[in-house]
Structure 1
């Protein structure tokens, strides 16, 4: 079942997010297995928010453990809080990119 994953972290900003993003996804045309969508934005009142949709929680956990956590540790990034929610209905309309 598809899941929505929300990561929020104080002490994050656009530059730190982009540094980690470039490390874990050097070629955006080759997303990790199971990733459906990804969005990142400033948090309120500070910090950063990343929202992903994954085909399954297993896909997300695999990426987290094998790619994201090791890269975060290498960079010494601040911790982030994660919320995972099962998705009941998902519609992803085609877009001209």
Structure 2
């Protein structure tokens, strides 16, 4: 089942996100299997929000295993993702 993954990063910054994203997107395994779409931006409270669409929760978890060392190296704080069922995605 496809899923929406929402990650709230309290105190996260655009610089922190861009540094981490650059490392992840330049990894030899990127793009990870199962990734449908990715979006990120400020959350309106001084933090950062990431919203991903994945073909399955298992695909997302496999990505997390690969990405965790990079996130730790770039100073990304530990987060608890919210995973919800995905019904539809429209990409223009």
Q: TM class, shorter-chain normalised?
A: 0.7 to 0.9
Q: Displacement, 1:92?
A: 2.7
Any gaps of 5 or more consecutive residues in structure 2? Answer: none
Any gaps of 5 or more consecutive residues in structure 1? Answer: none
> Which structure is larger by alpha-carbon Rg, 1 or 2?
1
Q: Does the CA contact (< 8 Å) of 2:12 and 2:47 recur in 1?
A: yes
Give the equivalent residue in structure 2 for 1:83: 82
d(CA) in 2 for partners of 1:15, 1:81: 20
Aligned residues: 90
* TM-score, normalised relative to structure 2: 0.87
Aligned alpha-carbon RMSD (Å): 1.6
Give the equivalent residue in structure 2 for 1:38: 38
* Alignment of 1:26 onto 2:30: no
* Alignment of 1:56 onto 2:43: no
Q: Displacement, 1:44?
A: 2.4
Q: Displacement, 1:11?
A: 2.0
Q: Cα gap change, 1:81/1:44 in structure 2, threshold over 3 Å: closer, same or farther?
A: farther
